[in-house]
């Protein structure tokens, strides 16, 4: 069921216009028992250079992972975030936290010049 003003859900893990979902590029390292759950959550994270400056967003919406994590870090409850953004689903918040935790563990190493 789609409420007015909401975009229909796209098939997870598929390319959507110029953007792409995190599941097409991301391969987070997790324990075997959590691998499918993590991959499923990351399917909700999308990237599009033409949307929100290419920042990771929730389901092609104009809500960034940083916005969600920032609200939670500021002390807002999940219920409050869902109240502020009624088109989000509880799983979207879980996906934002999963993505943020994965990125926090990533390290970027400089390329060595030959």
The full DSSP string for the chain is ---TTPPPPPPTTS-BTTBEEHHHH------HHHHHHHHHHHTTEEE-TTSGGG--EETTSS-BHHHHHHHHHTT--HHHHHHHSTT--HHHHHHHHHHHHHHHH----PPPP-
- In 3D space, the residue among 85, 51, 59 whose CA is nearest the CA of residue 70 turns out to be 85
pLDDT at 11: 41
pLDDT at 2: 38
The full DSSP string for 87-113 is T--HHHHHHHHHHHHHHHH----PPPP
pLDDT at 107: 81
pLDDT at 28: 47
Both tokens assigned to 24? 């097409």
7-54 pLDDT, tens per residue? 444 444 434 444 545 544 444 444 445 566 677 788 999 999 999 999
User: What's the rounded Cα separation, in Å, for the pair 97 and 81?
Assistant: 13
pLDDT at 89: 96
User: What's the rounded Cα separation, in Å, for the pair 48 and 55?
Assistant: 7
pLDDT at 16: 43
26 vs 98 pLDDT, higher one: 98
pLDDT at 23: 45
pLDDT at 35: 63
């Amino acid at each position: 069921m789609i409420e007015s003003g909401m975009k229909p859900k796209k098939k997870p893990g598929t390319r959507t216009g110029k953007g792409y979902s995190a599941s097409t590029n991301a391969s987070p390292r997790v324990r075997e028992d959590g691998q499918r759950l993590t991959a499923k959550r990351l399917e909700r994270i999308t990237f599009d250079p033409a949307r929100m400056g290419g920042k990771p967003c929730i389901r092609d919406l104009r809500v960034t992972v940083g916005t969600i994590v920032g609200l939670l870090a500021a002390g807002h409850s999940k219920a409050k975030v869902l109240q502020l953004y009624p088109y989000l689903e509880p799983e979207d918040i879980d996906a934002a936290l999963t993505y943020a935790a994965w990125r926090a563990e990533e390290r970027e190493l400089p390329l060595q010049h030959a």
